[in-house]
């Protein structure tokens, strides 16, 4: 069986990829940046996107089953983009003779759906709209519980940070969560299902209100928490609240909060009927599994790993911000330190390790970012040591990684322009460069007003990297 996986860098796609690599299939992946995926894992990689018909045709050529795990939620015009993306995918899949599309959407009833969910439903309807030419299995999941999932991260952060939680009244709305490993099982089993027409399969474990999920998560973390629902909390206020206390930016918080007002429980028993071999974990088991993965530093994918929207790969500057017009460059000699130890040291930047110098200034910048709806610092990093191209790191994203040579970070914080931070090792030097491409006058004012801080922060940062690398070398 020839299988195409789209969204292979996304939260679900990354985990499904691991599963499919163990299956007896020939796997191809469509990604927007080929550098963001390992090319030597035994799967074919096609670089492209659903708005480029030539790359779609190449990706779908000769494919039997195609997974559609794409959305553009973080972009302002996501509804139109998602509609067009699904149409393009369907047209190309039919043209290339694909037999089955498997799509993962959200649970919920159309008449009560939030805008975000409505768009996910529309995508499913488009993909299922030509049953005579191609069959579509549409799996629908509600809250997904797993390490790194947006919903779970929100519940966990609120539970850990706030002993008493003041919540909107919708915490009493019913939902039917499911563990991420079970979602992957259903998606994987869908490719082998003996069935010859369209099918909608709703998946979930037990039904419970959001309030119970939060208290259940607290219990699994060994914490006692109190929840006080307040009817006066509006969607806007609650979204700011989530934005401040959890790692999700305002826009993501808003679409999630909007979704809380309507029930998300399963509407059919097709999961039991067609996949009787899958017995989903209970909510408590799924939470414990997620916490275990986090504690063991084994978070495989996170909601913030994919580009999502505003910052889709920077075509104009990809890997090379050197045409940015403002920069701060510092360099220091390696003085006998190995390239490997210096590389490993700067790759441990961010998260719990901090930013090597003036961490309190970085913290302040993170809070300022949160106040204006940005991601802030508390997305942290997935793994304390390892990095991969495309993943988020505090309020940056890894744009390029060349072992023992280079780390390029692209800023995802709210700035009036585009910013990058690069660490580069030459034969005898470490070169650290902050690049900035300002937007208008405000962008320039922003950069020049920060010059004194850059002098302190960046100067200390490069010194501290070399000192730490030296310490590590001595410890060996």
Ligand X SMILES: NC(=O)c1ccc[n+]([C@@H]2O[C@H](COP(=O)([O-])OP(=O)(O)OC[C@H]3O[C@@H](n4cnc5c(N)ncnc54)[C@H](OP(=O)(O)O)[C@@H]3O)[C@@H](O)[C@H]2O)c1
Q: Cα separation of 84 and 219, whole Å? A: 44
Instruction: Lay out the site mask for ligand X across 52-71 (x = CB under 6 A, - = otherwise).
Output: -----------------xxx
| 3-class secondary structure per residue, 107-172 | CCCHHHCCHHHHHHHHHHHHHCCCCCCCEEEEEEECCEECCCCHHHHHHHHHHHHCCEEEECHHHH
Interface with ligand X (CB under 6 A), residue from 72, 114, 128, 243 = 72
Residue 216 interacting with ligand X (CB under 6 A): no
Minimum CB distance to ligand X smaller for 29 or for 430: 29
Minimum CB distance to ligand X smaller for 31 or for 220: 31
Minimum CB distance to ligand X smaller for 390 or for 443: 390
Q: Which residue is nearest to ligand X (CB)?
A: 10
Interface with ligand X (CB under 6 A), residue from 17, 65, 78, 105 = 105
Q: Which residues pair with 178 in a beta bridge?
A: 144
Segment interacting with ligand X (CB under 6 A) among 104-112, 191-199, 240-248, 369-377: 104-112
Instruction: Lay out the site mask for ligand X across 272-311 (x = CB under 6 A, - = otherwise).
Output: -------------------------------x--xxx---
Interface with ligand X (CB under 6 A), residue from 147, 149, 289, 432 = 149
- Show the tokens assigned to 59: 């990706």
Residue 203 interacting with ligand X (CB under 6 A): no
Residue 223 vs residues 217, 246, 247: alpha-carbon distances, Å: 9, 18, 20
Residue 106 interacting with ligand X (CB under 6 A): yes
Interface with ligand X (CB under 6 A), residue from 3, 45, 127, 150 = 150
Residue 177 interacting with ligand X (CB under 6 A): no
296 by Cβ neighbours in 10 Å (0-12 / 13-18 / 19+) ranks as: exposed
Segment interacting with ligand X (CB under 6 A) among 27-35, 211-219, 238-246, 445-453: 27-35
Q: Which residues contact 26 (CB under 8 A, 6 or more apart)?
A: 1, 2, 3, 44
> Angle at which helices 210-220 and 283-295 pack, to 10 degrees?
50
100 within 8 A of 66, measured Cβ to Cβ: yes
- Show the tokens assigned to 458: 């960046």
Minimum CB distance to ligand X smaller for 186 or for 303: 303
Residue 434 interacting with ligand X (CB under 6 A): no
Beta strands 417-425; 406-411: pairing state: antiparallel
Residue 10 interacting with ligand X (CB under 6 A): yes
Residue 96 interacting with ligand X (CB under 6 A): no
Instruction: Lay out the site mask for ligand X across 325-344 (x = CB under 6 A, - = otherwise).
Output: --------------------
Q: Which residues contact 99 (CB under 8 A, 6 or more apart)?
A: 64, 65, 134, 135
Sign of the CA dihedral 73, 74, 78, 79?
A: positive
Interface with ligand X (CB under 6 A), residue from 3, 46, 50, 251 = 50
Residue 144 interacting with ligand X (CB under 6 A): yes
Helix (H) or strand (E) holding 464: helix 451-475
Minimum CB distance to ligand X smaller for 141 or for 281: 141
Q: Which residues of 129-159 are buried (b: 16+ CB within 10 A; e: fewer)?
A: eeeeebbbbbbbbbbbbbbbbbbbbbbbbbb
Minimum CB distance to ligand X smaller for 409 or for 466: 409
Residue 151 interacting with ligand X (CB under 6 A): yes
**Number of residues forming the site for ligand X (CB under 6 A):** 34
Sign of the CA dihedral 443, 448, 453, 456?
A: positive
Minimum CB distance to ligand X smaller for 7 or for 443: 7
377 within 8 A of 388, measured Cβ to Cβ: no
Minimum CB distance to ligand X smaller for 240 or for 303: 303
> Angle at which helices 150-161 and 210-220 pack, to 10 degrees?
70
> Look-up: residue for tokens 């599309």?
101
- The strand order across the sheet containing 396-402 reads 326-333, 429-438, 417-425, 406-411, 396-402, 392-393
Residue 262 interacting with ligand X (CB under 6 A): no
Residue 136 interacting with ligand X (CB under 6 A): no
Minimum CB distance to ligand X smaller for 102 or for 457: 102
Helical residues (DSSP H) of 261-399, grouped into ranges: 270-274, 283-295, 339-346, 359-371
Interface with ligand X (CB under 6 A), residue from 3, 17, 27, 32 = 32
Interface with ligand X (CB under 6 A), residue from 390, 417, 438, 443 = 390
Residue 389 interacting with ligand X (CB under 6 A): no
**DSSP labels, 421-434:** EEEEE-SSEEEEEE
Cβ at position 152, least distance to ligand X in Å: 8
Cβ at position 194, least distance to ligand X in Å: 24
Minimum CB distance to ligand X smaller for 168 or for 259: 259
Segment interacting with ligand X (CB under 6 A) among 48-56, 314-322, 346-354, 373-381: 48-56
In the complex, the residues that contact ligand X under the rule CB under 6 A are 6-7, 9-13, 30-33, 36, 49-51, 69-72, 85, 104-106, 120, 141, 144, 149-151, 303, 306-308, 390
């Amino acid at each position: 069986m020839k299988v195409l996986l789209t969204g292979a860098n996304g939260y679900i796609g990354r985990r499904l990829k691991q599963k499919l690599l163990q299956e007896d299939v020939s796997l191809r992946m469509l990604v927007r940046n080929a550098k963001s995926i390992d090319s030597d894992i035994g799967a074919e990689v096609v670089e492209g996107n659903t708005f480029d018909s030539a790359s779609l045709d190449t990706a779908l050529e000769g494919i039997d089953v195609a997974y559609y795990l794409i959305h553009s939620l973080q972009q302002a015009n996501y509804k139109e983009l998602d509609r067009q993306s699904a149409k393009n995918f369907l047209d190309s899949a039919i043209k290339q003779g694909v037999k089955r599309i498997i799509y993962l959407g959200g649970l919920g009833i159309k008449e009560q759906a939030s805008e975000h969910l409505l768009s996910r439903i529309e995508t499913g309807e488009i993909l299922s709209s030509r049953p005579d030419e191609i069959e579509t299995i549409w799996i629908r999941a509600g809250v997904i519980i797993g390490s790194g999932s947006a919903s779970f991260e929100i519940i966990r952060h609120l539970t850990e940070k706030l002993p008493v939680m003041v919540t909107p009244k919708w915490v009493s709305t019913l939902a039917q969560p499911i563990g991420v490993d079970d979602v992957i099982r259903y998606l994987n089993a869908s490719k082998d299902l003996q069935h010859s027409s369209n099918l909608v399969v709703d998946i979930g474990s037990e039904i419970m209100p959001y309030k119970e999920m939060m208290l259940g998560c607290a219990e699994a973390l060994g914490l006692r928490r109190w929840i006080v629902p307040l009817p006066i909390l509006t969607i806007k206020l609650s979204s700011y609240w989530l934005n401040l206390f959890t790692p999700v930016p305002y826009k993501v918080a808003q679409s999630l909060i909007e979704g809380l007002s309507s029930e998300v429980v399963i509407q059919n028993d097709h999961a039991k009927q067609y996949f009787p071999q899958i017995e989903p974990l209970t909510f408590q088991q799924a939470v414990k599994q997620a916490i275990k993965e986090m504690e063991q530093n084994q978070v495989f994918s996170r909601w913030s790993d994919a580009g999502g929207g505003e910052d889709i790969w920077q075509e104009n500057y990809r890997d090379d911000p050197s045409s940015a017009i403002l920069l701060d460059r510092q360099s220091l000699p390696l003085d006998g330190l190995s390239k490997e130890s210096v590389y490993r040291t700067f790759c441990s930047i961010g998260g719990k390790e901090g930013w090597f110098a003036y961490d309190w200034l970085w913290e302040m910048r993170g809070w300022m970012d949160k106040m204006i709806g940005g991601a802030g610092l508390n997305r942290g990093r997935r793994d304390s040591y390892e990095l991969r191209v495309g993943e988020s790191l505090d309020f940056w994203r890894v744009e390029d990684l060349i072992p023992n040579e280079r780390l390029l970070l692209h800023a995802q914080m709210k700035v009036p322009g585009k910013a990058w931070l690069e660490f580069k090792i030459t034969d005898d030097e470490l070169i650290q460069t902050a690049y900035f491409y300002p937007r208008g006058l405000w962008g320039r004012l922003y950069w020049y007003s920060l010059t004194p801080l850059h002098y302190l922060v960046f100067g200390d940062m490069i010194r501290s990297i070399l000192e730490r690398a030296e310490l590590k070398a001595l410890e060996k």
